[in-house]
Amino acid sequence: MSLSENDKRVLRLIKVGAENSITGSEISLTTKLTERTVRDIIKRLVVKHNIPIVGVRCGVFSGYFIPANKGELLDGAKAFLQPSTGGEQAPSGVDE
C-alpha cells in the first residue's frame, strides 16, 4: 500500500534522532492539517507502514521522531508504556 500525499507530507517533517523531534502542533501548523488528523496519520504510518515513529511527551526532546539508535527506541517505548496523564497517548512503533 502506498502513502497518501498527506502521509508523505507528515513523514517528511519527522526526522531521525530525538534532537530533531517535532511536536504534533508544529506538524499541524506546517501542513495545515488538524492535530487530530496528524495523530491519525502518524498512527497509520506506524501500524500500516511499519515506520518506527516514537512520540515522547516530556524531557528535553518532546515530540515525534524516528529513533536513531536503540536507546532512543527504548526511551520511546517507555514513554508509550507510561500511564497517560490525560489525553490520547502518542503512538510508538517498532518493527520487530
DSSP labels, 44-57: HHHHTT----EEE-
Give CA separation, 16 vs 3, 64, 68, 82, in Å: 19, 9, 6, 23
Q: How far apart are CA 37 and CA 58, in angstroms?
A: 22
Query: pTM of this prediction?
Result: 0.77
Q: How confident is the model at residue 77, as a pLDDT?
A: 79
Q: How confident is the model at residue 95, as a pLDDT?
A: 40
**What domains can you pick out in the chain, each with its CATH number?**
5-81 (1.10.10.10)
pLDDT digits (tens, 9 = 90+) for 8-17: 999 999 999 9
Q: How far apart are CA 29 and CA 36, in angstroms?
A: 12
Q: How confident is the model at residue 46, as a pLDDT?
A: 93
Q: How confident is the model at residue 39, as a pLDDT?
A: 96
**What residues in the chain have per-residue pLDDT under 70?**
83-96
Q: How confident is the model at residue 94, as a pLDDT?
A: 43
Q: How confident is the model at residue 84, as a pLDDT?
A: 56
Quickly count: other Cβ atoms within 10 Å of residue 35's Cβ: 14
Q: How confident is the model at residue 90, as a pLDDT?
A: 47
- Answer yes or no: are the C-beta atoms of 45 and 11 closer than 8 Å: yes
